[in-house]
């Protein structure tokens, strides 16, 4: 009876988990998979966004301690994670100095270590059920896994060529960089001024599917492999 709760930052990621990841993971030992928005769960207009890590940590730790048959994960964008101040996410500031290949692993390792400290004596078993993921550099990067399906999914097939041109500049869609001008979402908005992430992002992700994302995005694929392996061990 493996269960999984994935903490996400917005409605697009919520839909991605519930509509795409969950059906896939049900075939890998999980009996229940759901997303939890990091923002206010009662007021949708205030939901989502990057919440301060201490509050997120307490929420995840409480969930792990209350449900011994559940795993918990994060699905958050590296691009917007707070790096400094009281709400900073562990490892985020240090990751700024790392090469692309090490950025996400530095943050994920720091999150896992801090969660183990939060769990204290229960860390030996509960921390094994915390499987964090930091999306490089943001959710929209995954959409460049298949420029053809991306452009067709949002009803703009003529954008396949410019989408492909962006993709071809990088070793992986996950490497599309994260400045305020060149982050994946900013590049999309430059081509699609009317781009609305909750609508277009969800439709595009459904059109693309998991297989191209896993083939093109090794960090995302590695995280899914970890989830699949955990679920199968519980089956």
Domain ranges of the chain: 2-138+218-234, 140-214
pLDDT tops 50 at residue 46? no
Q: Which helix (DSSP H) or strand (DSSP E) does residue 147 occupy?
A: helix 147-153
pLDDT tops 90 at residue 7? yes
pLDDT of residue 48: 45
pTM of structure = 0.93
Spatial CB neighbours of 113, under 8 Å, sequence gap ≥ 6? 90
pLDDT tops 90 at residue 80? no
Q: What is the pLDDT of residues 208-224, one digit of tens each?
A: 999 999 999 999 999 99
pLDDT of residue 39: 59
Band (pLDDT 50/70/90 cuts) for residue 49 is low
Check if the beta carbon of residue 93 is closer than 8 Å to that of residue 78. Answer: no
> Mean pLDDT, to the nearest integer, of 143-158?
97
Distance CA 42, CA 26 (A): 27
Check if the beta carbon of residue 31 is closer than 8 Å to that of residue 233. Answer: no
């Amino acid at each position: 009876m493996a269960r999984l709760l994935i903490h996400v930052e917005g409605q697009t990621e919520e839909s991605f988990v519930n509509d795409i990841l969950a059906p896939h993971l049900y075939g890998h030992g999980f009996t229940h998979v759901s997303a939890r928005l990091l923002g206010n769960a009662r007021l949708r207009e205030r939901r989502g966004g990057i919440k301060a890590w201490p509050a997120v940590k307490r929420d995840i730790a409480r969930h792990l301690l209350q449900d011994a048959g559940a795993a918990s994960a994060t699905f958050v964008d590296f691009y917007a994670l707070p790096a400094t101040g009281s709400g900073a996410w562990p490892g985020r500031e240090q990751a700024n100095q790392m090469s692309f290949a090490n950025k996400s692993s530095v943050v994920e390792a720091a999150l896992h270590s801090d969660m183990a400290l939060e769990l204290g004596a229960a860390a030996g078993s509960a921390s094994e059920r915390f499987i964090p993921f930091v999306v490089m550099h943001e959710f929209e990067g995954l959409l460049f896994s298949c420029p053809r399906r991306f452009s067709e999914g949002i009803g703009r097939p003529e954008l396949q060529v410019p989408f492909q041109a962006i993709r071809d500049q990088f070793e992986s869609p996950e490497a599309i960089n994260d400045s305020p001008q060149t982050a994946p979402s900013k590049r999309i908005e430059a081509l699609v001024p009317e781009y609305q992430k909750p609508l277009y992002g969800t439709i595009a992700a459904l059109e693309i599917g998991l297989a191209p994302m896993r083939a093109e995005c090794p960090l995302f694929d590695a995280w899914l492999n970890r989830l699949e392996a955990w679920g199968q061990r519980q089956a």
